[in-house]
Amino acid sequence: MAPTKTTMGKIAGLEKIFSPKSIAVIGASHDPTKIGHVVLKNFMDGGFPGKLYPVNPSSTEVLGLPCFKSVKDIPGKVDSAVIAIPAKFVPGALEECGAKGVLSAVVISGGFAEVGEKALEAQLVGSAEKYGMAVIGPNCMGVLNPAKRVDSIFLPIYKLGRPHVGEISFISQSGAVGGCIIDLAARAGIGISKFVSYGNASVVSECDLLEYLANDDSTKIIVCYFEGVKDGARFLKIASKITRKKPIIALKAGKSKSGARAALSHTAAMAGSAVAYEAAFRQARVTEAETLEELFDFAKMFSQPICCGRRIAIITNGGGNGVLSADSADKYGLELAQYSEQTSKSMRALLPSYANIGNPLDLIGDADAMRFEQAIRACMDDHNVDALVINILFQTAAIDTRVVSSIVKANGEQKKPMVVVATGGEYTEMHRRILDGYGIPTYQSPSSAINALSKFVDYCEHYRKFNVTACRV
Amino acid sequence: MAPTKTTMGKIAGLEKIFSPKSIAVIGASHDPTKIGHVVLKNFMDGGFPGKLYPVNPSSTEVLGLPCFKSVKDIPGKVDSAVIAIPAKFVPGALEECGAKGVLSAVVISGGFAEVGEKALEAQLVGSAEKYGMAVIGPNCMGVLNPAKRVDSIFLPIYKLGRPHVGEISFISQSGAVGGCIIDLAARAGIGISKFVSYGNASVVSECDLLEYLANDDSTKIIVCYFEGVKDGARFLKIASKITRKKPIIALKAGKSKSGARAALSHTAAMAGSAVAYEAAFRQARVTEAETLEELFDFAKMFSQPICCGRRIAIITNGGGNGVLSADSADKYGLELAQYSEQTSKSMRALLPSYANIGNPLDLIGDADAMRFEQAIRACMDDHNVDALVINILFQTAAIDTRVVSSIVKANGEQKKPMVVVATGGEYTEMHRRILDGYGIPTYQSPSSAINALSKFVDYCEHYRKFNVTACRV
């Protein structure tokens, strides 16, 4: 999708934010409790390969790097600035950036419209527009691009994990919510492409970010947390175009009366009506998440190969999980596949005589890794099956860790989407993390897995209309 | 509540199952892959203080203990038997138990009505009734009573964690589902009183177990996973009586058409209509969980002190989590408390001048443990607040682990229920586990926390009608 003229400058600026060769940290400090200190240190510790310029009028050196009084004093070219100074000094700092030719900045500082300081925010916007700068924030948490080792998030790396390189990009109006999701992704071994906490969105809006990500080849899935969308019509237009090529998953906060009030004092967002947002999301084929868990659960799911139908196979070594999975399939509108003759025959040979060859397919509590592998193989090859839901009770005596290899192998063929359900404590979690790390989405319960799968199946139906060769028949 | 005459024998038998002085393991084996081996070993490894008698006609010794050909050959008294032998031998083994005077048994073996062997199951019932035995199962996973070190669960302890002693009892028709929840509880540090996987429930039914737990002083909360309830009228009567004193939280599986079919082949349960169950649960004031996550989330919540109203205080150091919490409060019918003059005043003194003293109360990203402690203190003392929802972003630079102590201290006063919301990776999870271990329910998201709290608030309203002094005004 071609970007509009008005956003061309912003998109060029965003490119500098995500892939800078040189960065000025305005507000860099000796004091380890200051955001400017943490940001500079995180760039250094994270191995940013470009040039780093601390800026602070009261220091000559910070963390071993020469420190400049103003961004204007920096000898070389500066691609981007990270600004973490008191709000009242921010417009001036942006002016200096503009004069120096720095055409992009991330303003972490808060204290603008979200606390009623609308004039100060207008000044910030004025400085940015004067020089055609792309400015993220103010009142935001920073930006992450693991491929380029860009990390302006001011939270300590031992508290907030940083994910490895992947295909999910995530834009979040709230730093807190964004940070939580990033931390969850890092923990589960799920990679990301770009992360942006965009705060008050006074210059670069969520729509600008969406346009950027639409054209970013390393982004395959776009995940959003919104408190308010500034230009509904533009959002609808952009999002509708994007979802023909890439999924957008969004959580809209502030949908209730109390929530809307809270959003206003948080990011100065006009939250708008819940009904209007739901309708817009539906029309633009944006996948809506109702909770933080769903946002994370759906994001994981959408990295699977395109689904070519609604017929699922449920495999389990625990009968109760099979029953719960079947309940969830009904609830979320997925069909239980009727196995082919071939599958039924091979399952009959595989299982004890008293076992039911049905769907859910109960491999019985004494199933080992090999029985799982054969059942998964049969379902992968069965033309009546569009997706697999694999419930594994890792707690049984018979199952062992090799089942992980079988699943990774089957998923590696990229033929059909699969999800793994595994409920339990540390031993089970360890296996889930390995699977998640290989891009196989795992879930705590049949309900959360099948909910996520159903949203993906719905999206794939839409996607296939515009990508007719996605499913070879 | 006085048990009915017909169940008196079963209740005495159940007492022997949960607190035996001596146990026969019928099917004990040298072979570590056999269930009888694992069960015997788990009793030994778990430090069961009573007598253990392996029974197996083809051995004279198992795991260093003398082995008997039949339960009848055991010289001393035997309180209870755990039976893990092929289905066809089970009725005979029960006959021998009856003849020996063993009046309780847990039959782990499957291969009865769930696979169509109705005659064999009828034989088992016949043997049990002839001697008035309490029999759990068949087709079950065993029983756990950590206070008495009773553990007949046949899953390895390194795969399935065993929880410490606590106040939650859990009865599960499915071994797999039961095991998952037990494992989750162990991982989170949540204690249990009794756990029973009751399988086909052909002798001891879910109603018998409920009657037992109703009168068990060490059980404060009853959690159930059902696939089918055999006697709906009796269930309704018993459950209605119990919920006046203790909460019952239940997950009913097999509510959908596909789920019901799966349940039939799993535990031979007639799943019945979803509408009928929902109505019965509502009438009996049973708190219904829709998913495994809810079952676990609700169980944790109900250990908090009785809630005396619907007005909650939301405290947060991340604005976005405040917005999401407010949305959830609206969704689940909880009210945002209007703070007293005193609270507003002390919050005004505590927070930076630009902060909004509202509900949600945003302590701002630079809040430290002391700021949280003072805010929690103020809400605990505020008569306009009935419960606290504490959102903690453990990822900020300013917060530290001492906030855990503040919360444990406040919760220790047992004045008002509180929940903690903390979303994130390993660093955050570690803090959540510490809090859960102290009995403070923690959740992955505002939505799951407030959902659980709302169910507890609803139950407390019912409870207070029958326990009018629960809330001192």
Nearest to B291 among A161, A263, A445 (CB): A445
Q: Are B289 and B281 in contact (CB under 8 A)?
A: no
Within chain A, which residue ranges are assigned CATH 3.40.50.261?
311-466
CB-CB: which of B177, B258, B267 is closest to A321? Answer: B177
Residue A80: how many CA atoms within 13 Å on its side-chain side? Answer: 25
The answer for A 88-117 residues in CB contact with B (under 8 A) is 110-111, 115-116
Burial of B320 per CB tally in 10 Å (0-12, 13-18, 19+): buried
Enumerate the residues of chain B whose CB falls inside 8 A of the CB of residue A426. 161, 187
Q: State the virtual CA torsion across B383, B384, B388, B393 in degrees, nearest 10.
A: -120
Output phi, psi for A219, to 5 deg.
-105, 120
Degrees to nearest 5, angle at CA A111 with A110 and A115: 125
Tens digits of per-residue pLDDT, A298-347?
999 999 999 999 999 999 999 999 999 999 999 999 999 999 999 999 99
Q: For strands A51-55 and A22-26, give the pairing.
A: parallel
Q: What is the pLDDT of residue A208?
A: 95
User: How far is A365 from B159, CA to CA, in rounded Å?
Assistant: 14
pLDDT tens for each residue of B189-232: 899 999 999 999 999 999 999 999 999 999 999 999 999 888 88
Please write the tens of the pLDDT for every residue from B14-28.
999 999 999 999 999
Q: End-to-end alpha-carbon separation of chain A, Å?
A: 28
Give the pLDDT confidence of A359-387 residue by residue, as tens digits. 999 999 889 999 999 999 999 999 999 99
Q: Does position A389 have pLDDT exceeding 50, yes or no?
A: yes
Contact B177 A320 (CB under 8 A): yes
With 0-12 / 13-18 / 19 or more C-beta atoms within 10 angstroms meaning exposed / middle / buried, residue B465 is exposed
B43-83 pLDDT tens trace: 999 999 999 999 999 999 999 999 999 999 999 999 999 99
- Across the strands, what pairs with A23? A52, A80
Q: Does A429 touch chain B (CB under 8 A)?
A: yes
At residue B7, the pLDDT reads: 58
Residue B103 to residue B17: CA distance in whole angstroms? 9
Residues B82 and B106 sit within 8 Å (Cβ to Cβ): yes
Q: How do residues B26-39 score in pLDDT, each as one tens digit?
A: 999 999 888 999 99
Handedness of CA B33, B34, B40, B42 (dihedral sign): positive
* Beta pairing partners, B224: B171, B250
**Of the candidates A389, A448, A393, A460, the residue with the CA atom closest to the CA atom of residue A420:** A389
In the block, residue with structure tokens 């604005």: B319
Q: What chain A residue is nearest to B398 in terms of C-alpha separation?
A: A33
CB-based contact A38:A25 (threshold 8 Å): no
- The chain-wide mean pLDDT, for chain B, equals 93
Burial annotation B145-175 (CB, 10 A radius, 16+ → b, else e): bbebebbbbbbbbebbbbbeebbbbbbbbbb
- Tell me if chain B has a CB within 8 Å of the CB of A313: no
Binding-face residues of B in 45-84 toward A, CB within 8 A: none
Average predicted confidence (pLDDT) for chain A = 93
Fold of B311-466: Rossmann fold (3.40.50)
E strand spans, A358-473? 361-362, 387-391, 418-421, 442-443
Is the Cβ–Cβ distance between B370 and B436 less than 8 Å? no
CB B151 within 8 A of CB B221: no
With beta carbons less than 8 A apart as the criterion, state whether B131 and B98 touch: yes
Q: Which of A178, A253, A321 sits opposite B327 (nearest CB)?
A: A253
By Cβ distance, the residue of A156, A256, A445 closest to B330 is A256
Asked if B393's CB is within 8 angstroms of A179's CB, the reply is yes
Question: Do residues A284 and A359 lie in contact, with contact meaning Cβ atoms separated by under 8 Å?
Answer: no
Predicted confidence (pLDDT) per residue in A102-140, tens digit = 999 999 999 999 888 999 999 999 999 999 999 999 999
Q: Which two tokens stand for residue A142?
A: 């920073």
- Please choose, from the candidates A302, A167, A286, A146, the residue with its C-alpha nearest in 3D space to the C-alpha of residue A225: A286
CA distance between the termini of chain B: 28
Q: Is B264 on the interface with A (CB under 8 A)?
A: no
d(CA A221, CA A245): 10
Q: Do A292 and B159 touch (CB under 8 A)?
A: no
| Residues from chain A contacting residue B109 (CB–CB below 8 Å) | none
Q: Which amino acid is at A459?
A: Y
Nearest to B184 among A111, A262, A424 (CB): A424
Contact B196/B209 with Cβ under 8 angstroms? Answer: yes
Q: Enumerate residues 6+ apart whose C-beta is below 8 A from B149.
A: B43, B46, B47, B48, B49
Check residue B5 and give its pLDDT.
Answer: 44
* Percentage of residues in chain B having pLDDT higher than 70: 97
Chain B residues lying within 8 Å of A108, measured CB to CB = none
Quick one: pLDDT band at residue A212, thresholds 50, 70, 90?
very high
The pLDDT assigned to A352 comes to 84
* A327 Cβ under 8 Å from any chain B Cβ: yes
- CB B351 within 8 Å of CB B338: no
pLDDT band at B262 (very low <50, low <70, confident <90, very high): confident
Helix count and strand count (H, E) for chain A: 16, 20
Structure tokens, B426 = 């390993």
B319 interaction partners in chain A (CB closer than 8 Å) = 174, 176, 262, 265-267
Q: Which residues contact B201 (CB under 8 A, 6 or more apart)?
A: B173, B230, B267
Whether domain A5-301 has CATH 3.40.50.300: no
Buried b (16+ CB within 10 A) or exposed e, A333-365: ebebbebbeebbebbeebbeeebbebbbbbbbb
Within chain B, all domains assigned CATH 3.40.50.720 are found at: 5-301
- Chain B nearest-CA distance from A467, in A, is 33
Other C-beta atoms within 10 Å of A261: how many?
19
Strands (E), A96-244: 104-107, 134-136, 142-145, 150-151, 165-172, 192-197, 221-226
Burial (0-12, 13-18, 19+ Cβ within 10 Å), A327 = buried
Whether the pLDDT of residue B3 is over 50: the answer is no
B196 CA: distance to closest CA in chain A (Å) = 15
Q: What is the mean pLDDT of residues B108-137?
A: 94
- Is residue B444 less than 8 Å (CB to CB) from chain A? yes
Q: How much is the ipTM here?
A: 0.91
A72 Cα to chain B: minimum distance (Å): 30
Strand locations in B317-351 (E): 335-336
d(CA A259, CA A48): 38
Which residue is closest to B255 within chain A, CA to CA? Answer: A327
